[in-house]
Amino acid sequence: MLTEPAIRADQVGKRFGRTRVLDRLELEVPTGVIYGLLGPNGAGKTTLVRILTTLLSPDSGRAFVLGRDVVAQPQRVREVIGLTGQYAAVDDLISARENLYLIGRLLSLRPRAARVRAAELLDAFGLSEVAGTRVRDYSGGMRRRLDLAASLVGRPAVLFLDEPTTGLDLASRNQLWDMIRGLAADGTTVLLTTQYLEEADRLAGRVMVIDHGRTVAEGTPAELKGLAGGQVLEVRPLDPGDVGGATAVLAGLAGAGRPVVAEDLLTVRVPDDERVAAAARNLDVAGIPVRHFVVRLPSLDEAFLAITGQHAEAAPALPSGAMQVGATTKEGASR
């Protein structure tokens, strides 16, 4: 028997009223990997996760988790999955320990086993010290950690994380990323949706980009960056007073993109190495010394823009250092 993928969606379609939210979507996630599902708001990510976790029926197509049919065998699917939804699912008015204990009992653990499992998870997620405190008084990061812990009580083989770190500060996100990596290292398959391209880049071995319910790209993050074409040149003048001059030099580079300025860092898309060499020469001729001159692959964020044709736009209240696909407008929607 060929190894069955952990998750498989075959031509899955879903409409809400007259809106087609998923359009014959195909997905195949091998066992034991972290797989990223990317897309702007409204792309259909949550809808797909809800179908794969048996919370919603597809209108057409079929989907399987570890070979179990999400429509025909929902109970058998639920036995092997965990879900951390986009919105917190734990009870605010009781403590973390009580939440985890209750979930264990709901999953038919005996009282003692439920207590042991709760304690293990509280420890693993750094929540032991606040285990008796009402969840209402937790910080956002603590709450998300509890959410993740809650989805792990039943030791799921396949874990679905729907925007697990949205709204978290960078430190909390890093902490959660480490935990997710640890789960994958232990053999859990993780399907992760995110608007943060950096998150997918750091965590996921493969990603699929969907837009308007359709797949627009699939591959490793590096392959997706390759789709954006070319490379990115970063320049930081030695003297911040030279930013204007350096921008003018880079803007004059034939075949290059428009330079983007962020404080004293200039970024410009260049098609090939010759243009990189030309940039170095022209800066020298202009008498502008630089202290940073680096060529890199496009970021996943830049690739996303190239692939979908949508502008990545920062959402309000974005945690610092985050990149987000926040496109809400769409020109030429027939993609």
Ligand X SMILES: Nc1ncnc2c1ncn2[C@@H]1O[C@H](COP(=O)(O)OP(=O)(O)O)[C@@H](O)[C@H]1O
Residues that bind ligand X (CB under 6 A): 16, 19, 21, 39, 41-47
Tell me how far, at minimum, the Cβ of 136 lies from ligand X, in Å: 26
CB closer to Mg ion, 48 vs 235: 48
CB closer to ligand X, 135 vs 217: 217
77/65 Cα distance (integer angstroms): 6
Tell me how far, at minimum, the Cβ of 55 lies from ligand X, in Å: 11
Angle formed at CA 45 by CA 39 and CA 49, multiple of 5 degrees: 150
Partner from Mg ion, ligand X, none contacting 82, C-beta within 5 to 8 A by type: none
Partner from ligand X, Mg ion, none contacting 6, C-beta within 5 to 8 A by type: none
Tell me how far, at minimum, the Cβ of 271 lies from ligand X, in Å: 33
Partner from Mg ion, ligand X, none contacting 220, C-beta within 5 to 8 A by type: none
CB closer to Mg ion, 5 vs 44: 44
CB closer to ligand X, 16 vs 244: 16
Question: Applying CB under 5 A, which residues contact Mg ion?
Answer: 45-46
Tell me how far, at minimum, the Cβ of 290 lies from ligand X, in Å: 41
What string of H, E and C letters represents the secondary structure of the chain?
Answer: CCCCCCEEEEEEEEEECCEEEEEEEEEEECCCCEEEEECCCCCCHHHHHHHHCCCCCCCEEEEEECCEECCCCHHHHHCCEEEECCCCCCCCCCEHHHHHHHHHHHCCCCHHHHHHHHHHHHHHCCCHHHCCCEHHHCCHHHHHHHHHHHHHCCCCCEEEEECCCCCCCHHHHHHHHHHHHHHHHCCCEEEEEECEHHHHHHHCCEEEEEECCEEEEEECHHHHHHHHCCEEEEEEECCHHHHHHHHHHHHCCCCCCCCEEECCEEEEEECCHHHHHHHHHHHHHCCCCEEEEEEECCCHHHHHHHHHCCCCCCCCCCCCCCCECCCCCCCCCCC
What token pair was written down for 16? 């809400």
CB closer to ligand X, 139 vs 328: 328
CB closer to Mg ion, 46 vs 189: 46
Tell me how far, at minimum, the Cβ of 195 lies from ligand X, in Å: 8
Tell me how far, at minimum, the Cβ of 129 lies from Mg ion, in Å: 32
Tell me how far, at minimum, the Cβ of 293 lies from ligand X, in Å: 38
138/175 Cα distance (integer angstroms): 16
Partner from ligand X, Mg ion, none contacting 44, C-beta within 5 to 8 A by type: ligand X
Partner from ligand X, Mg ion, none contacting 206, C-beta within 5 to 8 A by type: none
Partner from ligand X, Mg ion, none contacting 257, C-beta within 5 to 8 A by type: none
Tell me how far, at minimum, the Cβ of 48 lies from ligand X, in Å: 7
What token pair was written down for 242? 């030279």
Partner from Mg ion, ligand X, none contacting 118, C-beta within 5 to 8 A by type: none
Question: How far lies 21's CA from each of 12, 100, 185, in Å?
Answer: 10, 34, 33
What token pair was written down for 323? 């990149």
Partner from Mg ion, ligand X, none contacting 143, C-beta within 5 to 8 A by type: none
CB closer to ligand X, 11 vs 282: 11
CB closer to Mg ion, 45 vs 78: 45
